[in-house]
Structure 1
Amino acid sequence: MTERSVPRIVVVGGGFAGFECARHLVRGARKAGVDVSVTLVSADDYMLYTPLLPEVAGGLLDPRFVAVPLANSLPGVDLVTGRVDGVDLEARSLHLTSRSGETETLGWDRLVLTPGSVTRLFDIPGLADHARGLKTTTEALYLRDQLIGQLELAGRETDSEVIRQRRTVVVVGASYAGAELVSQMRALADEVARQRGFDPTEVRFVLLDTSAQVMPEVGDKLSGKVLDVLRRRGIDVRLETTLESVADDHVVLTDGTTVPTRTVVWVAGVTASPLIETLGLPTEGGRLKVRPDLTVPGRADVFAGGDAAAVPDLTADSGDVTPPTAQHAVRQGKALARNALASIGIGTAKAYRHRNLGLVVDLGPGFAVANPMGVYLSGLPAKAVARAYHLLALPRGVNRWAVGLAYLTDVVAPRSLVSFGLVSDDEARFSASQAIPTPSSNGP
C-alpha cells in the first residue's frame, strides 16, 4: 500500500468486466464501512452493450439505447475518460491521454485491468482498408448507413455489374455475432426492397467461415437449425471458406471464387486489447495470464479479467480458459471487485468459478435460438427468451425501457430507413474505430 490514507483502486476499461467491477467495488467498500477511492479509466464515457450491436446495424435499435452512461450509472466512482498508453508496474502508475490530447499520470494501490478486446485481423491483402467490423457504435452506424446507401444508389445505377456490387454484402464469421449481423442486415435489406419497390432476392448476402458449421457454440442440433434458417432467407452460407483478398469492388475467396461487392464485414473473432502487449507480463493466446483468483502471477496488486485475460476455467478438466463472452465478463467483474477488496483487508478472496447459463442468439424476424440451462429452444420461444435476457442484462432501467419499446414498435411498424451519414468511411476503419494497429503477417 502507498502512503495515501485512502487506498486507491484503478480499473482500466469500461466494458462489461470493468463496469461491474467498479460498481461492486463501491458497493463492497460502502457495505464494509471503509473508505476506498475507486477510479475507472475508459476511452468512452459509456459502457457499450455489444450483444445488441447487430440490431443497431440492422436499423432496429438506436445506438443510444445500447450505450449505458458511466457517470450516472456508477455513483461514487471517479470517471476518467481517456486512453491508457502505458503502465509502470514498479512505480504503480499508469499514463493516459485524454480526448483533448492532454497526458496524465495516475497512481494506484491496486490495479484492475479490463481493457477488453478488439477485432482480430489477419494479413489478408486489402482487409484493413476495405472491410469493416462490428465492435463499436461507429461501426454499427456505418454498416446501417452503408447498406441503405448502397441499395439506394443501386436503384439509380444503369451498369449491371455495379448494381451487383452495391447489392451484395459479404460477412466473414459465422459465429453468433456474424449470424446475428447477417440476419439483421437481411431484414433491413428486405425492408428497403419493400419500400423501394424491387425484388428483395436481388440483394445478395454471402456468409463465410473457416469452420465446418455455423455457430458451433450452440451445439450441433441448434447449429443445423440456424444453417437451415439462414439459407431459407436466401443467405449464401459458405463454410470452410474465407477471404483471399479484398478490393473496393470485389473479394476473392480461398476457393478461387470472385464475389462482386462494396460491403465487406469482418467479424471473425477477437483478440485482447493492444495494451496487453505493452505490459511485459505473461500471456496465453494473446490474453493476460491470471490465476484463478484473477491476480497476475508475481503481482498480488494487479488483477485482470474479461476478454483481455486468460482466466482458468475451473469447471473444465482440460485446462482451458474461459471464452471471451459478455456472460463471463460480467461475472468476472464481480469477482475482481471481491478479490481486489480482499487484498486490502475487506472480505475474503475467492477463485473464479462459473456455471454455464447457455447462449441466446437473435436471428431477425420471427426466429432465434437459445440453450438456457441446457434447454434447447428455437423459433418464437427462443426469441422471447433472447429478448427477455437482453432486457434483464442491460444494467440501466432507461436503456431497458428504450429497447423494450423498440421491440414492441418492431412488431407493429416497419423499420425506419434513415441514413444520417454521420460516420465517414475513414472513421469506420479498424485503425480509427478500434485503434487497431496494422496487423503483422500472422496468417489466418
Structure 2
Amino acid sequence: MTRPRILVVGAGFAGVGCVRRLERRLRPDEADLTLVTPFSYQLYLPLLPQVASGVLTPQSIAVSLRRSGKYRTRIIPGGAIGVDLRSKVCVIRTITDRIVDESYDYIVLAPGSVTRTFDIPGLVDHAFGMKTLAEAAYIRDHVIAQLDLADASQDPDERASRLQFVVVGGGYAGTETAACLQLLTSNAVQRYPRLDPKLIKWHLIDIAPKLMPELGDKLGGSAQRMLRERGVEISLGVSIAKAGAREVTFTNGRVVPTRTLIWTAGVVASPLIATLDAETVRGRLAVNAELDLPGYDGVFALGDAAAVPDLAKGEEGAVCPPSAQHAMRQGRTVADNVIATLRGEPLTAYRHKDLGLVVDLGGRDAVSKPLGVELHGMAAQAVARGYHWSALRTNVAKTRVLTNWVLNAVAGDDFVRTGFQSRRPAKLSDFEYVHSYLTPEQVRERVEEAVDLGEVE
C-alpha cells in the first residue's frame, strides 16, 4: 500500500512550523510529506523593516528550508493556484511556469496573505509594498537613490520631492517601516553636504483615529511622541485619494510632492482561499477550533488565511489575529491533529493567550507590552529584540541577526545602494501575483479533465 500523502501549502510561520513538527513526530514509513512554496526559505516577516533600513542583511531573516530539518519533505518550488477539496487535488504553477496537479490525502492550507489594496487611482502602479524580502531590499535601494538623485539635482522642486517620503498604514508594519527608514535617512543626510536635512520629511498616515490601537493609549501615545520628536509627521483619519509618479493626494485634499509611497495598510488572505468554494469569514477560511475545515475530510487551515476561533478570549465569534505568534503555535497544533487523524486519535483544540506586543522603532526607541507590562525606551528595545531573536528558528539565523545588530550598533549604518533598481521601477503590481489564481469553476474543469485522462486519481 502507498503511504498517505500530506501536502502543506505555504512556507510561512504556520506552514514551516507544521512541517517541522510532522518531520519530528511522524515515523518515516507513516506518511509522505510535500511542501509547496515559491521560495525555499522561511521569511521572518517582523524584521523586514530592519532589512529595508539596512540594519539586517536580507539573508539573515530568510531561513533556508533546504539546510534545516530532517530533509524528509519534498519541496515543490511554485505556488498553489487552486484546490479541488472534493477530488483532493491541488493545482500548482511551478517556477518554470508549468501547471501540475498534485493529489493528496491530507492538506494543510497555510498560504498566508497578500497586501490589502483598494480601488485608489494609481496605487498599484506607483506604491511600494512591504510584504516580501525583495520589496524590502528594493525599498532600501530606492530610498538611498532618492538622496543621491536629490544631491545631483539642480531643480529645487525636484530635490524637495525626492526628500519627502509617505508611508500609509499605522499598524506595526507601517510604523516600524517609517521609523527605521526615517532613522536611515537622518543619518545618511549628514554625508551629503549639499542637502539641507530640514528638507527630509517622513509622513505616516492612517485612516484610523489612533496609531497601533492594540498598544493602548499610553504606549501608543509614547510611540507617537518618539516619532514626532524625530521629525516624523503623523496624520490620522487620513488616507490616500490618488497616487502619481511625482505626488500623492491625501483624502483631506493635501497634495504632497514625493517619489516614494510605501503602502502597508493591512493584509487580506491569499487569493487561493477564493478558489476553494468554501465558507469564509471576512475572506479567511472558516475553520473549527481544531483547525480543520467542516464538511471536508483531511483539510486543515491556519495562519493569515484562516479564521481560527480564539478560545482564549472567551468571546463568541472572536478569531485569532493574523500574527506570527499565533501562526507558529497553530502550526504545531495542526501537525499534532494531522497525526491524530492518521492514527485515529482525538483532535486538540487550539488555544493560546497572546503573550504581548513589541514594536521596534529603530535606534534606542521602542515600545513593548510583554504579558501586559508596558515598557518604552531601552527596556522595551531589549524585550523587542530579545523576543525576535528567540523566535528565529535556527542558530545560523540567530547568529547572523545578532552579528548584524552588534555591527550596526558599533559601526553605524552604511549607505550603499546596489543599483539593481535603477533601470526599471518595481511597484506593488510587480511583487504579488494576485491575478494568477484560478476560479473555482476553472479548478473543477481542470481536475475533471485530469481525472478523465488518468493523470490524477
One-letter identity of the residue aligned with 1:118: V
Who is 1:74 aligned against?
69
1:106 corresponds to which of 80, 98, 102: 102
Q: Distance in 2 between matches of 1:5 and 1:347?
A: 21
CA displacement, residues 51-110 of structure 1 (integer Å, 9 cap, x when unaligned): 010001111111000101111223221111111121122221112121112222211110
Among 124, 144, 164, the alignment partner of 1:148 is 144
- Matched residues, percent identical? 43
Query: Which of 27, 33, 37 is equivalent to 1:42?
Result: 37
1:101-140 to 2 correspondences below 5 Å: 101-140=97-136
Find the residue that maps to 2:336 and give its secondary structure.
helix
Identify the residue that residue 400 of structure 1 maps to in structure 2: 398
Quote the Cα distance in structure 1 between the aligned partners of 2:307 and 2:434. Answer: 20
Q: Superposed, which structure 2 residues align to 1:232-311 within 5 Å?
A: 232-311=229-308
Task: Give the match's secondary structure for 2:114.
Answer: strand
Residue correspondences, number: 433
Residues 260-299 of structure 1 deviation map (CA, whole Å, 9 limit, x = unaligned): 0000000000000011111111111011110110011111
Q: CA deviation at 1:346?
A: 6.3
Give the 3-state SS of the residue equivalent to 1:374 in structure 2: coil
Matched, 1:177 2:173: yes
* Residue-by-residue CA offset, 1:299-337 (whole Å, 9 max, x unaligned): 131000000001111122142211111111101111110
Gapped runs of 5+ residues in structure 2?
437-457
Rounded Cα–Cα distance in structure 2 between residues aligned with 1:429 and 1:288: 28
The answer (yes or no) to whether the contact 2:86–2:296 under 8 Å persists in 1 is: no
Q: Deviations over 1:209-228 (max 9, x none)?
A: 01111111211110000010
Candidates 409, 414, 420, aligned match of 1:422: 420
When residues 310 and 426 of structure 1 are mapped into structure 2, their CA distance, relative to the original with a 3 A threshold, is: farther
Secondary structure at 1:84 match in 2: strand
- Residue by residue over 1:223-281, the C-alpha shift from the partner in whole angstroms, topping out at 9 and shown as x without a partner, is 00001011000001000001010000001111110000000000000000011111111
Equivalent position of 2:445 in the other structure: none
Asked whether the 8 Å contact 2:129–2:263 carries over to 1, the reply is yes
Shift of 1:114: 0.2
- Residues 359, 372 of structure 1: 8 Å contact kept: yes
Taking structure 2 as the reference length, the TM-score comes to 0.92
Deviations 1:3-45 (A, max 9, x none): x531111000011100000011111213xx7522111111111
1:422 Cα offset (Å): 2.7
**Residue in structure 2 matching 1:312, options 309, 312, 316:** 309
User: 1:427 and 1:261 mapped to 2: Cα distance?
Assistant: 15
Alignment-derived partner of residue 95 in structure 1: 91
1:279 and 1:347 map into 2 onto residues whose CA distance is 27
Q: Give 1:208's aligned residue.
A: 205
For the pair 1:18 / 2:23, whether they are aligned, the reply is no
- 34-43 vs 163-172, greater mean Cα deviation: 34-43
Partner in structure 1 of residue 60 of structure 2: 65
Shift of 1:410: 1.4
Deviation at 1:437, TM superposition (A): 3.7
Distance in 2 separating the partners of 1:19 and 1:429: 28
Give secondary structure in 2 for the equivalent of 1:359.
strand
1:250 touches 1:262 (CA, 8 Å); kept in 2?
Answer: yes
- The residue type equivalent to 2:417 in the other structure is S
Letter in 1 for 2:376: S
SS in 1 for 2:248: strand
Give CA-to-partner distance per residue, 1:334-373, whole Å, 9 cap, x none: 1110111111116541011111100111001111111111
Q: Give the equivalent residue in structure 1 for 2:441.
A: none
Higher mean alpha-carbon deviation, 77-86 vs 256-265, is at 77-86
TM-score, normalising length from structure 1? 0.95
Letter in 2 for 1:64: Q
SS at match of 2:380: helix
1:193 matched to 2:185: no
Task: Structure 1: state its 5+ residue gaps.
Answer: 439-444
Inter-partner Cα distance in structure 1 for 2:206 and 2:428? 20
Aligned counterpart, 1:85: 81
Provide the C-alpha distance between the structure 2 equivalents of 1:109 and 1:186, rounded to a whole number of angstroms: 49
Conserved 8 A contact 1:150-1:167: yes
Match of 1:382 in 2: 380
In 2: Cα distance, 1:424 partner to 1:19 partner: 35
Distance in 2 between the 1:427 and 1:270 partners?
A: 23
1:132 Cα deviation from its structure 2 partner = 0.8
Matched-pair contact (CA < 8 Å) for 1:138–1:427: no
For the aligned residue pairs, the C-alpha RMSD in angstroms reads 1.5
8 Å CA contact 1:367, 1:380 repeated in 2: yes
- In structure 1, how many angstroms separate the alpha carbons of the residues matched to 2:122 and 2:429? 13
Quick check: 2:292–2:300 contact (8 Å CA) kept in 1?
yes
Give the counterpart letter for 1:296 in structure 2. L
Matched, 1:325 2:320: no
Q: Specify the code of the residue in structure 1 equivalent to 2:32.
A: S
Deviates more, 1:279-288 or 1:96-105: 96-105
1:421 Cα shift? 2.5
79-88 or 138-147, larger mean C-alpha shift = 79-88
Quick one: which amino acid aligns to residue 270 of structure 1? V
Q: Distance in 2 between matches of 1:437 and 1:6?
A: 35
Q: Distance in 1 between matches of 2:84 and 2:213?
A: 40
SS of residue paired to 2:7:
strand
Task: Name 1:442's counterpart in structure 2.
Answer: none
What displacement does 1:426 show? 5.8
Matching of residue 163 in structure 1 with residue 159 in structure 2: yes
How far apart, CA to CA, are the structure 2 residues paired with 1:103 and 1:212?
45
